[in-house]
Structure 1
């Protein structure tokens, strides 16, 4: 998809990958960029830096009503939504099934249901126009898991699975779908973005945004700013038991370190 003259919503856009994407979409000639974040003050700062094509909206993606209001605000200002970048995420804490239900629930909402709610809000209009792009930010952890945090790894798997389903179900109806799976990026969550696969180079949000735009032009499914993730994923598929054994070693080393 050519981003020029399109209207894009980016959630989690007050900083990090989201801010990088909002700026890049504007640089690509988008006629409208909605900078959505739970932190409105920071979102407004990003929007002001972009200029008149940007609109800042407060949105807590763990609430469907907020997502519906976000989409309504975008339509009111710009007429329609062409691109939805479902990017907001949280890290949570180190641990596994012993972590409290409230944390698990919050992770499910932000890394799972937020994508469902967003699709519910924008995909029907994309289907009606036979054109639109929906991008989910998962993580390398969505493909490979992460030894430090069960809630993060499990819910990022869910994010990837939903993006995959959305492409299967609507890819032939005009809705392009991609899933962003980076490792470590210079964000507020730098220690938790796909750490299971190792920190093979921390990228800037601008580098990630460039990869997203390139993948959108090619309309491919996986956005892999760290190319080594693809090899890790292939290794996993070729010998699942061996891969799990390697991850067990990583988990043991992590447990010993803490």
Structure 2
């Protein structure tokens, strides 16, 4: 898909990867609704974009975990720009580390990291099938292919996000609906350092696990890779190519991989003392 002239919604667009995606999309000729639970952040990103590209972006404060909020974003896009062509389910949260996590924390992680994707697809995919074209981009994580040391809620919800994106691709890929799944490792955003700032040993280990596994990319670098992948309609987007090797090692000998991850976790926790 060529994004020029297309209408996109980017969730989690008030900072980080989402802000970079919105900026890159408009630079490539798209028009974008920038959505974030931090409404001021979304408005700021849209204002910076429109300063260079007038009438190309709108910022909206929205909690995209809920269906009503997503409906509102779609209506805003249609009002300002026209029918939605691309939806970037990019909003995400890390979640508390460890096993002692409340049901409400689990629900929040699943709502933001998974159900928000499902609810958006339920609203948009039927329209896209009728039109014969649409593009859904899911921001998961390398944790969705591998695992996340520290946060069970993050690891499990990101695995589920990858699974849902796969299902969408298989089920609707022959009906004009394109699906990509973004699975980066370390990206220089607040989310990367949330574990380090949690005050928990497992949380700090989670941050070090990512920062020590490969280069920490800037959001703009990731956005450039995503747009190139969309142009080629590539499902799995890996800004860190080594993730594919890690994924292959995991699948080739699961028990050996698990033992290696336990050793890695032990080393990271030892470094914290």
Q: Shorter-chain TM-score: which interval?
A: over 0.9
2:76 is the alignment partner of 1:73: yes
Equivalent of 1:61 in 59, 64, 68? 64
Which residue is equivalent to 2:200? none
Equivalent of 1:103 in 94, 105, 127? 105
Equivalent of 2:115 in 110, 113, 119? 113
2:47 is the alignment partner of 1:45: no
- Counterpart secondary structure, 1:45: helix
**In structure 2, what is the Cα distance between the partners aligned to 1:182 and 1:192?**
16
- 1:227 CA drift (Å): 0.5
Which residue is equivalent to 2:240? 226
Which residue is equivalent to 2:172? 170
The TM-score normalised by the length of structure 1 is 0.95
Which residue is equivalent to 1:90? 93
- Which one is further off, 211-220 or 12-21? 211-220
- 1:254 CA drift (Å): 3.8
**In structure 2, what is the Cα distance between the partners aligned to 1:103 and 1:243?**
28
Equivalent of 1:239 in 249, 253, 268? 253
Task: Give per-residue Cα distances to partners, 1:23-44, cap 9 Å, x unaligned.
Answer: 00001111x2000001111111
- Counterpart secondary structure, 1:89: coil
Task: Give per-residue Cα distances to partners, 1:24-77, cap 9 Å, x unaligned.
Answer: 0001111x2000001111111100111121011111022111111111111121
Equivalent residues of 1:142, 1:158 under 8 A apart: yes
- 1:255 CA drift (Å): 4.1
**In structure 1, what is the Cα distance between the partners aligned to 2:158 and 2:194?**
11
Which residue is equivalent to 1:148? 150
**In structure 1, what is the Cα distance between the partners aligned to 2:107 and 2:263?**
29
- Counterpart secondary structure, 1:144: coil
- Which one is further off, 107-116 or 68-77? 68-77
- Counterpart secondary structure, 1:172: helix
2:29 is the alignment partner of 1:15: no
**In structure 1, what is the Cα distance between the partners aligned to 2:268 and 2:71?**
40
**In structure 1, what is the Cα distance between the partners aligned to 2:248 and 2:177?**
27
**In structure 2, what is the Cα distance between the partners aligned to 1:3 and 1:37?**
21
**In structure 1, what is the Cα distance between the partners aligned to 2:65 and 2:121?**
14
Which residue is equivalent to 2:219? 205
CA RMSD across the alignment = 1.5
Equivalent residues of 1:147, 1:250 under 8 A apart: no
The TM-score normalised by the length of structure 2 is 0.90
Gaps of 5+ in 2: 196-205
Equivalent residues of 1:184, 1:192 under 8 A apart: no
Corresponding pairs, count: 256
Q: Which runs of 4+ in 1 moved over 6 A?
A: none
**In structure 2, what is the Cα distance between the partners aligned to 1:232 and 1:167?**
23
- 1:192 CA drift (Å): 6.3
Which residue is equivalent to 2:163? 161
- Counterpart secondary structure, 2:189: coil
Which residue is equivalent to 1:250? 264
